[in-house]
Structure 1
Amino acid sequence: MSETDESTASDSTPVEGAATDEEPSSAADDAAPAESSSDADLTELVEDDPETHTGDDGARYAPLEVEGLRKEFGGIVAVDDVSFDVEEGTLTGLIGPNGAGKSTTFNLITGMLDPDEGTVRFNGEDITGFEPHEIANQGLARTFQIARELEEMTVLENMMLAPKGQVGESLWRSILPITRGSVREQETEQLERVWEVLDFFEIDHLADEYAGNLSGGQRKLLEMARALLTDPDVLLLDEPFAGVNPSLEKRLLEHIHELRERGYTFLIVEHDMDLIMNNCERVIVMHQGRILKDGTPTEIKESEEVIEAYLGGEV
């Protein structure tokens, strides 16, 4: 089954009050990013650093392991015997032409689809067939090609829904006098953390804006900010830079590299080849539902089979 990959939006201004996949040409977006108070210390943004995962022999193992994934739709094979792992603390790129199976692979890993065959292990545990929310609670978060914000809620309200383990989700804890205090205390702490993340991604000025009125690039920033609030070990980013103007793209890349330096792990689908080659330590190439090549950016650039099947020339 072929996929539809979203094309990158232009930098024209959206109609006021309407959602769009294009980034507005506002002074706030086009100006050089101001220094953020949260830039100096990322520890304020997340509750804990990602764990270092080791086996009984003390050796590290990959937090995400995919083995033999296969998915058919009406007799058409979309993903065919896909196997790879994503090493801890790395930026790994997943590339391929439209219909290669990239987003279907993401959906299989994150529980949006059940594989016909194969296994997904996360932090050493078999999570094949888990529900998406169960996988997210394990520490494996994702974003989507088309951001899935709650359009009729504000940016701030969208963000407040993201943290795990909210005691206020229980009706009785919210209304009983003996527990209301703990609910209010946690909400106060979470609100402070939400503002820090909004500031980190430089969308704090949009806190009271309805998410449905954001531009395409702003929605991508909101989605990544929400994902960070779930305290993930691994982030799967599906075309995170589509619709983001160059200044915001540069800033977002800086955030990703800062988080990676703290031990966070990223698997990124992206059509911008220069971006992948210049920022990822490892690149996995898919073609017609299978893994065509897995290696360093240099190895991918020099691979004749990759050039013939996908790149069509020099990178």
Structure 2
Amino acid sequence: MLLQVSGLTKKFGGFTAVDKVSFSVARGEILGLLGPNGSGKSTTFNCIAGMLRPTSGSVKLDGEEVAGLNADAICHKGLGRTFQIPRPFRELSLVENATLAAYYGANGRITRAEAESRARDALQLAQLPTEASARVGGLGAAGLKKLELARALATQPKLLLADESLGGLDGGEMRQAADMLKHIRDVRGITIVWVEHIMGVLLSVVDRVVVLDHGAVIFQGTPREAQQDERVAEVYLGPPETRAA
């Protein structure tokens, strides 16, 4: 397993945001981490990526314990992530944004030429312009999501955490974003954990899903099994007696 999460818990004072979460991700897999708003998805992500320090539990990346390490140290070990709300350097070009990320990544010291080469490769993979003149100001919501993805890819990750990649996109853009993540896995072999609260498009792409509710795992299995699971349906649709006929 490339990622093993065991008993992951995060408390904020007396509130338990993540409650003994355990799951694993095989190398080359796309795992969907699902749940309604407030279910603990992003907090789980932030604990895995080093943005938050877990209260307890284990996170192993390629067999090495990384729980409690800072985000930069975990990135250097091969974990890249996107953020729900893109915050690019707007005064820089697309290439410059991705080049900075390449310097920050998993492969130690690299030259400027190597960083720029990785940046352009990541931009191309995210279907963005690679010309030096391309600026952030020309991007819409979908383009900003792509740039966020390109910056993560420029760090040369073996594991990509994609946080709410469909937020703010229309139906066609959602489908394109989902297909892009699958393409990245298929052509680069990058393992992906994809956090999302929008189920429909994600379920057509992922290999397995883990569903959270109130910070705890309530389901693990295939997308088809998730769609047939009564507890998952209750989390998203409410109790059977409250659903429209």
TM-score by length of 1: 0.69
Superposition deviation, residue 213 in structure 1: 6.0
| C-alpha distance in structure 1 between counterparts of 2:120 and 2:16, whole Å | 44
The answer to whether the 8 A contact 2:8-2:18 is kept is yes
Shift of 1:187: 2.2
Matching residue within 49, 71, 82 for 1:132 = 71
1:137 is aligned with what amino acid? H
- Structure 1 position 288 matched with structure 2 position 227: no
Deviations 1:103-124 (A, max 9, x none): 0000100111111111111000
- From 126, 140, 143, the counterpart of 1:201: 126
Separation in 2, partners of 1:229, 1:193? 6
| Contact residue 286 and residue 292 of structure 1 kept, 8 A | yes
Distance 1:292 1:84, change over 3 A: same
1:208-229 per-residue CA deviation (whole Å, 9 max, x = no partner) reads 3543663222111001011111
Question: CA, structure 1 residues 72+166, in 2 after alignment: closer, same or farther (shift >3 Å)?
Answer: closer
Alignment of 1:117-156 (within 5 A): 117-156=56-95
- Cα distance, 1:200 vs structure 2: 3.1
For 2:185 and 2:69, locate their aligned partners in 1 and report how far apart those are by CA, in whole Å: 26
Match of 2:115 in 1: 190
Deviation string 1:48-99 (CA, Å, 9 cap, x unpaired) is xxxxxxxxxxxxxx11111111111121111111111111111111111111
Partner of 1:300: 226
Count of residue correspondences = 236
Write the distance in 2 (CA, Å) between the matches of 1:306 and 1:253. Answer: 22
Contact 1:89 1:263 survives alignment (8 Å): yes
- Can you give the 5+ residue segments of structure 1 that lack an aligned partner in the other structure? 1-61, 169-185
Partners of 1:281 and 1:256 lie apart in 2 by 12
Alignment match, 2:180 = 255
Q: How does 1:56-205 map to 2 (within 5 A)?
A: 62-163=1-102, 164=105, 167=109, 186-204=111-129
Q: Distance in 2 between matches of 1:277 and 1:142?
A: 20
In structure 2, what is the Cα distance between the partners aligned to 1:246 and 1:207? 30
CA distance in structure 2 between the aligned counterparts of 1:123 and 1:270, rounded to whole angstroms: 24
Q: Which residue of 2 aligns with 1:309?
A: 235
Which of 261, 273, 294 does residue 199 from structure 2 map onto? 273
What TM-score does the superposition give when structure 2 sets the normalisation length? 0.87
Q: Distance in 1 between matches of 2:204 and 2:86?
A: 25
For residues 214 and 302 of structure 1, do their structure 2 counterparts lie closer, same or farther at Cα, with a shift above 3 Å needed? Answer: same
Instruction: Name the one with the larger strand percent.
Output: 2
| Secondary structure of 1:161 counterpart | helix
Shift of 1:207: 5.0
1:166–1:298: structure 2 CA closer, same or farther, 3 Å change rule? Answer: closer
Compare CA radii of gyration and give the structure with the larger one: 1
Provide Cα deviations, 1:127-180, integer angstroms capped at 9, x if missing partner. Answer: 111110110110011111111322332222111111135757xxxxxxxxxxxx
Could you say what secondary structure the match of 1:147 adopts? coil
Residue by residue, what CA displacement relative to the aligned partner does 1:223-246 show, whole Å, maximum 9, x if unpaired?
101111111111010011223344
Question: 122-131 or 158-167: which moved more?
Answer: 158-167
Q: 1:271 to 1:230 in 2, by over 3 A?
A: same
Partner Cα separation in structure 1 for residue 50 and residue 185 of structure 2: 24
SS in 2 for 1:235: strand
